[in-house]
A and B are shown apart, each in its own frame.
Chain A
Amino acid sequence: MKKIIKYVIADILRNKIVIAYTAFLLVMSLSVFNLEDNTAKGLLSLLNVILLIVPLVSMVFATIYMYNSAEFIELLVSQPLKRKTIWLSLFAGLALSLSLSFFIGAGIPILLYQPSATGIMMLGTGLLLSVIFVAVAILAAVTTRDKAKGIGKVILLWLYFALLFDGLVLFLLFQFADYPLEKAMVAVSALNPIDLSRILILLQLDVSALMGYTGAIFRNFFGTHLGITLSFLTLTVWCVVPLWISMRKFSSKDL
């Protein structure tokens, strides 16, 4: 397994997009922190960019990489290797290289300028988001034979997670404004890893007061150790489940 991960990472590094992504994150986080005197404000600006960019880049890059590795996968499948090993190695290679570039690009500046609980939280969720969206992307790639369709699917998924989901939640809130939905909102937020990460970080930033009664409920839940542990567990479930389904699909796929 290590050997295949090594070849995957070498291949990813050779095509330089990951290096460009790292440089972009680095330039962005450094400039955000240097623009504001208050680094907490900088963190807030960085938050929104990270919650949009990290899932998008992880998903699109991972999907295109999977399609471009079709030959590599075909070659490996005819060799004495377990399909599970091949699939997990590809996933690990992608997840490792994208998390590493997030760590270098955004993690190191965060640790330098804002080494607080909030900063650590942001670093943790950013790393998890990279891994989650690689898992979602490889699931989309393994279930779709056509490359254009697969990439289209992934972009739609990103639109859903990053934009549409919030719209739907707002719509529901307005439609059912007469009912006490605050507690249900905690559960609904688990359906979207991006929202869950945003709530986790915002609550660390003490701006939850701006979110009204729902904010107070969130504070009560996500502010506790149990809440944080549960949220991280949910995020882990978001990596494991798509990865597991994709592995099942791959092990019976015809090549």
Chain B
Amino acid sequence: MIITSNVSKNFGKLKALDNVSVTCNKGECIALIGPNGSGKTTLAKTILGMVVPDSGFITFNGKNILHDWEYRKNIGYMPQIGRYPENMTIGQVLDMMRDIRKSRDTQTDEELIETFGLHALVNKRMRTLSGGTRQKVSASLAFLFNPSVLILDEPTAGLDPVASGILKEKIVTEKEKGKLILITSHVLSELDDLVTQVIYMQEGKLRFHKTIEALHADTGENQLTRAIASIMSH
């Protein structure tokens, strides 16, 4: 579904992405793992077209995404740090996104807005929100338009245990519907029961892309945290 071919991106001298080639298919739930600054967010942003790669290309459903924009109809993105127009209220932001992305054939998925209780907060301005509430807004927006691909950048960072439980449940139900889900995170224990594949990145390079079973078999460890730790120590 998403194929990146030899994607490289430099920010000045820093190599944020170095010849990264990955293939992501429908129905997979892929964890993007790596230390801080290893290029996870940059990879997510190049797939979204927010960062333009220096070389290499990315295809979405067989089409090159360069200069394309319609493919983003199929993507829901939850940024690591959600930044929204400060003087708009939650309700206005939600309405604006509905207005911009509305189309006749897709039904909006309001489940997260309801379960997070955002209806009670619709009149709050974005600048007054706590980090956690902001994350709830970001998550609700990512799932709102029933996209077939979800890119979640540190989805549970800053969420309280209840909210993060709700979000994880939501991710599981969406995965079961056959959607492609890309999660970046460094809280590995959270991903244990979610992911089917692991992409490990370090210093902008793709270290490996394996299914979780292969990873368990290779390392002899049953937990993702331990498996990754054993790889990092070798």
- Chain A interface (Cβ within 8 Å of chain B)? 3-4, 7, 11, 14-15, 69-72, 74-83, 252-255
Contact = CB atoms under 8 A, between A and B. Distances in A.
Contact of A255 (B50, B86, B87): B50
B160 interface: no
A72 B73 CA distance: 18
Nearest to A84: B69
B155 to A, nearest CB: 15
Dominant secondary structure at the A interface: helix
B2 to A, nearest CB: 15
Contacts of B86: 71
A11 B72 contact: no
Contacts of B69: 80-83
Given A7-B96, A69-B85, A71-B84, A80 B50 contact: no
23 contacts: A3-B99, A4-B100, A7-B96, A11-B87, A71-B83, A71-B84, A71-B86, A74-B50, A74-B79, A74-B83, A76-B100, A77-B50, A78-B48, A78-B75, A79-B101, A80-B69, A80-B101, A81-B72, A82-B69, A253-B52, A254-B45, A254-B50, A255-B45
A255 B51 CA distance: 6
Given A69-B85, A74-B83, A75-B85, A81 B50 contact: no
Interface band, chain B: 20 to 34
Contacts of A255: 45, 50-51
Most buried by A among B83, B85, B87, B99: B85
A19 to B, nearest CB: 16
B77 interface: yes
A71 B205 CA distance: 29
A89 to B, nearest CB: 11
A14 B87 contact: yes
A11 B84 CA distance: 13
Contact of B51 (A69, A82, A83, A254): A254
B177 to A, nearest CB: 20
Contacts of A80: 69-73, 101
A252 B96 CA distance: 25
A80 B97 CA distance: 11
Given A71-B83, A71-B86, A78 B99 contact: no
Given A71-B86, A75-B84, A81 B100 contact: yes
Nearest to A15: B87
